[in-house]
Amino acid sequence: GTRLQRMSDRIDSLTSSAYQQALEVIASVEPRIAEATRQELDDQRSSLKLIASENYASPAVLLTMGTWFSDKYAEGTVGHRFYAGCQNVDTVEALAAEHARELFGAPYAYAQPHSGIDANLVAYWAILAHRVETPALAKLEAKNVNELSAAQWETLRNELGNQRLLGMSLDAGGHLTHGFRPNISGKMFHQQQYGTDPETGLLDYDALAAKAREFKPLILVAGYSAYPRRVDFAKMREIADEVGATLMVDMAHFAGLVAGKVFTGDEDPVPHAHVVTTTTHKSLRGPRGGLVLAQEDFAPEVDRGCPMVLGGPLSHVMAAKAVALAEARQPEFRAYAQQVADNAKSLADGFMSRGAKLVTDGTDNHLVLLDVSGFGLTGRQAESALLDAGVVTNRNSVPQDPNGAWYTSGIRLGTPALTTRGFGHDEFDRVAELIVHVLQNTQPGTTKAGGPSKASYTLGEGVADKVRDASAEMLDKHPLYPGIDLS
């Protein structure tokens, strides 16, 4: 009603003046940073943001990050800090953890990880400590590793460094931290990777179970960065239990769909996994950061994340996590999450009805993986041509990609950001149409030697302008941060 409208108008006007004044203060010290900040807003406002891992956090979340909580050291945990004067940080961290536990129905939450990768490192370390170190210490009747003799310590270190991890391969849609060899996770663990069925592009649980039986990992990692389908976490837990593995789920990409109850039952990782990690800035729409959720018995080891794995907590970001998680507990967030998934279907249908090929022939989460080889392009060429037309995506390998991880044959597109702006079915169908138009009008270039280039390309005359105009029409209808006026 009108009262709600008045309240929202007042928030808009406060937000506007907060940012006008903040930029003036920043400009008084380093005007180029104020200018870049202003420019970033203009750029985000005027482009079609389809990067599946990005979103637009609310002004309340953004404003929360810009405070004096940034000035405070707070190593340790709530009520148990290595620094004095942490009473307000305690309030903030306790609230962030409480919102996370309530929102996800998790017995325990840790709000300190600075990012998704950091959350995974904390989780790995906690699982190693829980499964290997703690039992070894108990057997030796030692309280901690400082009490071990040199020989005992050497034995334990060797054991910790020789554990097995089974995760989804990068080219099937897994993340670097799930055991990719060049990543720290691939070096700290004896790793193997599972993929997807070469025909269907779908997870093959029987093949995965067979691999797990043979390899007997300490940790089975589920979760993905570029897999366009839902995962059956009940089945994943069954496989983990059968081989004695700890199931860790990295829900960084789809945490918003879990929070918004689009993924429930077997598709909700929280009741099935021993440990769940996430970022807070993707579909969850919070500040850049991470979270670890866990079953109670892993809590003591996860709590030692900082300072044993992580640097000092970012209290200002934990405060913003608390605000974002409070938002995600509102009924509006469920509607948002459902719209994210519905829009991904509209986008997928928009591509397929125009003859474009998608990995797994569709989606049932927030992202689609478009195979651009049918347009005669590499992912790199497609990504660049689309960017010229104001469409921001990222190139991504497709399963068994002949062009490798650098040039790739795919484009990953996600709906969380534009759904926040208010895009619906018709707009996402139009987005698919515009993207197909760009790709149909992009020609691969040639190398200096005259061979086919994987990077250079030419975009047809006038295509970029036409697509930018069509996008502008939709973007103007759904303004980004309508409450912020910096003019």
* Chosen residue from 99, 253, 285, 321 binding ligand PLP by CB under 6 A: 253
35 is a catalytic site residue = no
Q: What is the smallest separation between the CB atom of 16 and ligand PLP, expressed in angstroms? A: 29
* Chosen residue from 133, 250, 303, 401 binding ligand PLP by CB under 6 A: 250
Site string for ligand PLP, 268-287 (x = CB under 6 A): -----------x--------
Is residue 409 a contact point for ligand PLP (CB under 6 A)? no
250 is a catalytic site residue = yes
- Cβ–Cβ under 8 Å, residues 66 and 316: yes
Is residue 117 a contact point for ligand PLP (CB under 6 A)? yes
* Chosen residue from 116, 269, 287, 350 binding ligand PLP by CB under 6 A: 116
Q: Which of 206, 196, 191, 190 is nearest to 174 (CA)?
A: 196
**Choices 94-102, 245-253, 350-358, 418-426; region in contact with ligand PLP by CB under 6 A:** 245-253
**Choices 109-117, 132-140, 232-240, 330-338; region in contact with ligand PLP by CB under 6 A:** 109-117
71 is a catalytic site residue = no
* Chosen residue from 58, 115, 196, 315 binding ligand PLP by CB under 6 A: 115
77 is a catalytic site residue = no
Helix, strand and coil content of the chain, in percent to the nearest 5, comes to: 50, 15, 35
Distance CA 121, CA 33 (A): 32
Choosing from 12, 75, 204, 342, the catalytic residue is: 75
**Choices 16-24, 70-78, 112-120, 413-421; region in contact with ligand PLP by CB under 6 A:** 112-120
Residue, CB closest to ligand PLP = 116
Residue 76 φ then ψ, to 5°: 110, -155
**Choices 16-24, 73-81, 113-121, 237-245; region in contact with ligand PLP by CB under 6 A:** 113-121
Choosing from 93, 250, 268, 349, the catalytic residue is: 250
Residues in 167-186 at the binding interface with ligand PLP, rule: CB under 6 A: 175, 177
Distance CA 13, CA 6 (A): 11
Site size with ligand PLP, rule: CB under 6 A: 13
Residues paired with residue 458 on neighbouring β-strands, in sequence order: 443
DSSP assignments along 226-265, one per residue: S--S---HHHHHHHHHHHTPEEEEE-TTTHHHHHTTSS-G
Distance CA 160, CA 218 (A): 11
The conformational region for residue 331 under phi > 0 = left, psi -120 to 50 = alpha, else beta, is: alpha
Please tell me whether the peptide bond between 307 and the residue prior to it is cis, using omega within 30 degrees of 0: yes
Hey, what amino acid is at 379?
Answer: G
**Choices 69-77, 111-119, 256-264, 419-427; region in contact with ligand PLP by CB under 6 A:** 111-119
**For residue 396, what is the enclosing H or E element?**
strand 394-396
Specify the residue, 290 or 399, whose C-beta has the smaller distance to ligand PLP: 290
- Cβ–Cβ under 8 Å, residues 356 and 436: yes
Choosing from 12, 38, 54, 73, the catalytic residue is: 73
Residues paired with residue 412 on neighbouring β-strands, in sequence order: 369, 394
Specify the residue, 226 or 322, whose C-beta has the smaller distance to ligand PLP: 226
* Chosen residue from 59, 223, 286, 390 binding ligand PLP by CB under 6 A: 223
Distance CA 351, CA 359 (A): 12
Is residue 325 a contact point for ligand PLP (CB under 6 A)? no
**Choices 7-15, 210-218, 248-256, 305-313; region in contact with ligand PLP by CB under 6 A:** 248-256
* HSE-up (13 A, CA, CB side) for residue 153: 7
Give, in order, the Cα–Cα distances in Å from 163 to each of 186, 225, 248.
11, 24, 15
Hey, what amino acid is at 252?
Answer: A
Is residue 339 a contact point for ligand PLP (CB under 6 A)? no
421 is a catalytic site residue = no
| Residues forming the site for ligand PLP (CB under 6 A) | 53, 115-117, 175, 177, 223, 225, 250, 252-253, 279, 290
Catalytic residues: 73, 75, 250, 279, 282, 288
